[in-house]
Amino acid sequence: MKYQLGKTLKEEFPIFIHHRDLVFLDNAASCQKPKVVLEAMDKLYRTSYANVHRGVYSISEAATNMYEESRVMVAKFINAKTEAEVIFTRNATEALNVAAFSVAELLQPGDEVLLTQLEHHASLVPWQMAAKKHQLKLNFIPVNSEGRLELENIDKIITPRTKVLAITAMSNVTGTVTELDVLIPKAKAAGAIVIIDAAQAVQHLPLDVQALGCDLLAFSGHKIFGPSGVGVLWGKLDLLQKLEPFEYGGNMISEVSYATASFAEPPAKFEAGTPPIAEVIGLGAAIKFVQEIGSEAILEYENDLTAYGLEQLKKVPGLRLIGPADQHLRGPVFAFVMEGVHPHDIASILDGGHCAMPLHKRFGIPATTRASFTIYNSEEDVGALVAGLNKARQLLVM
């Protein structure tokens, strides 16, 4: 393997060279950037920067080629049938808003949309708005006290009235990996459109849209070692062709008169205005970096680190960990509360909330502190977290 995971990998990330002692445990919010990403963006700006899809001069063509190469890389990374299925957005939130807005236009009053109690606000709130506008009914797959989906009654919850299943692949709070292999076939058999929020999962799990059998899938570049400002909405081509565009203008127009306009085919149909050019190219470099490591190697490394994290965190007195106890059912995202201490106080001692308010209510707690690990973290970083928590306990409880 070209890269070794853990502490050694920090050498590939300039921020860890700038801050030699930095223990970065907020990877669920955003992760650090390897030098290959910074170099790809820098190279574009220094050698070939121009707007894409507009100019017929050489640097515009070079920039367009680099931009489109990233699309091909994303398509291969998630095993899309064709790169025309890959739409670049600003982030996962925008991708999920486009998906909800456009899919809702196909629905009828009374249609049901099924979500889970684990959803991030970006997956939940666009459907609340769409439900108001189109008179839809929102249903929720419940979670149990361990943070796992309760699937006992799933065949009663998914019915022919279920027109959409919108579900996270991994919770940003509990780290729970959801049972997409069970739920997607059931939703498809009922005739529903399946939308996956892969914003957390993309950093940790292999994603194969054809094997999953979903219709739309969203993620952000910044959570897979790419820059902020770019996200991806993947969709099955025939569905994308049916969906209404979300924004109008620029390259998404095919023909326009003062009275009317017609739209380009996907993906251009969903990429209005000047896109995040350098960010898309940086995302391409991030995906190449992850592919050189390999999704299976990442999964294996992080499973071991998750198991170690669970074992060590259990030893911290007064700490209540939220989420599944088995490392195979979760990612390396640890939300917790410490008896008698406000989560914000722990966070400030660790120098370090997150967006899923209804889920915190479900667990009967106002907020949690979260530590999240990735490929450059190691057992030493788990040790640093445990030491920080013990210090917080001493200062705030004892």
Ligand X SMILES: Cc1ncc(COP(=O)(O)O)c(C=O)c1O
Is 372 a residue that touches ligand X (CB under 6 A)?
no
Torsions phi, psi of 186, nearest 5?
-65, -45
Give CA 44 to chain center in angstroms: 26
Query: Which residues have a catalytic role annotated?
Result: 355
Helix H or strand E segment including 369? strand 369-372
- Closer residue to ligand X in complex, CB, 176/327: 176
Q: Tell me how far, at minimum, the Cβ of 219 lies from ligand X, in Å.
A: 8
Q: Which helix (H) or strand (E) holds 287?
A: helix 277-293
Helix (H) / strand (E) element for 302: namely: helix 295-314
Binding residue (CB under 6 A) for ligand X from 9, 92, 216, 243: 92
For ligand X, give the closer residue by CB, 180 or 199.
199
Determine the Cα–Cα distance for residues 118 and 168; give it in Å rounded to an integer.
7
Out of 41, 78, 122, 136, name the contact with ligand X by CB under 6 A.
Answer: 122
- Of the pair 70, 91, the CB lying nearest ligand X is at 91
Closest to ligand X by CB, 44 or 196:
196
Checking DSSP bridges between strand 231-235 and strand 216-220, what pairing results, if any?
antiparallel
Does position 120 bind ligand X by CB under 6 A? yes
Identified binder of ligand X from the candidate list 27, 70, 172, 372, rule CB under 6 A: 172
Q: Smallest distance from the beta carbon of 26 to ligand X, in angstroms?
A: 10
CB atoms within 10 A of CB 57: 9
CB-side exposure of 276: number of CA atoms within 13 Å? 23
CB 116 within 8 A of CB 141: yes
Minimum CB separation of residue 59 from ligand X in Å reads 30
Return the residue of 113, 166, 199, 202 that touches ligand X, per CB under 6 A. 199
- Give the single-character DSSP code of 149: B
Distance in angstroms (rounded) separating the CA atoms of residues 67 and 279: 9
Type of residue numbered 356: A
Instruction: State which of residues 197, 271, 302, 381 lies at the interface with ligand X (CB under 6 A).
Output: 197
CB 279 to ligand X: min, Å: 12
- Binding span for ligand X by CB under 6 A among 45-53, 193-201, 324-332, 373-381: 193-201
Q: Is residue 251 a contact point for ligand X (CB under 6 A)?
A: no
Q: Scan residues 302-341 and list those touching ligand X (CB under 6 A).
A: none
Instruction: For ligand X, give the closer residue by CB, 222 or 236.
Output: 222
- 106 burial level (CB within 10 Å; 0-12, 13-18, 19+): middle
Stretch that binds ligand X, among 16-24, 176-184, 196-204, 341-349 (CB under 6 A): 196-204
What DSSP assignment string belongs to 164-202? EEEEESB-TTT-BBP-HHHHHHHHHHTT-EEEEE-TTGG
Longest dimension (CA), the chain: 73
Nearer to ligand X, 84 or 194 (CB): 194
Which residue stretch of 49-57, 64-72, 180-188, 197-205 sits at the interface with ligand X (rule: CB under 6 A)?
Answer: 197-205
User: Does an H or E element contain 319, and which?
Assistant: strand 319-322
What is the smallest separation between the CB atom of 220 and ligand X, expressed in angstroms?
Answer: 3
Q: Which is nearer to ligand X, 169 or 349 (CB)?
A: 169
Tokens of 236: 């099955």
Pick the binder of ligand X from 48, 91, 162, 251 (CB under 6 A).
91
Applying CB under 6 A, which of residues 27, 70, 168, 374 lies at the interface with ligand X? 168
Instruction: Please report which residue ranges of 28-153 form alpha helices under DSSP H.
Output: 35-43, 58-77, 92-104, 121-134
27 or 64: CB nearest ligand X: 27
CB of 241 to ligand X, least distance (A): 25
Choice from 48, 162, 220, 306 touching ligand X (CB under 6 A): 220
Q: Which region, judged by CB under 6 A, interacts with ligand X, from 4-12, 89-97, 179-187, 298-306?
A: 89-97
DSSP secondary structure of 17-55: HHSTT----BTTT-----HHHHHHHHHIIIII---SSS-
Q: Taking the mean position of all CA atoms in its chain, how far away is CA 387?
A: 29
Residues of this chain that interact with ligand X (CB under 6 A) are: 29, 91-93, 120, 122-123, 168, 172, 197, 199-200, 220
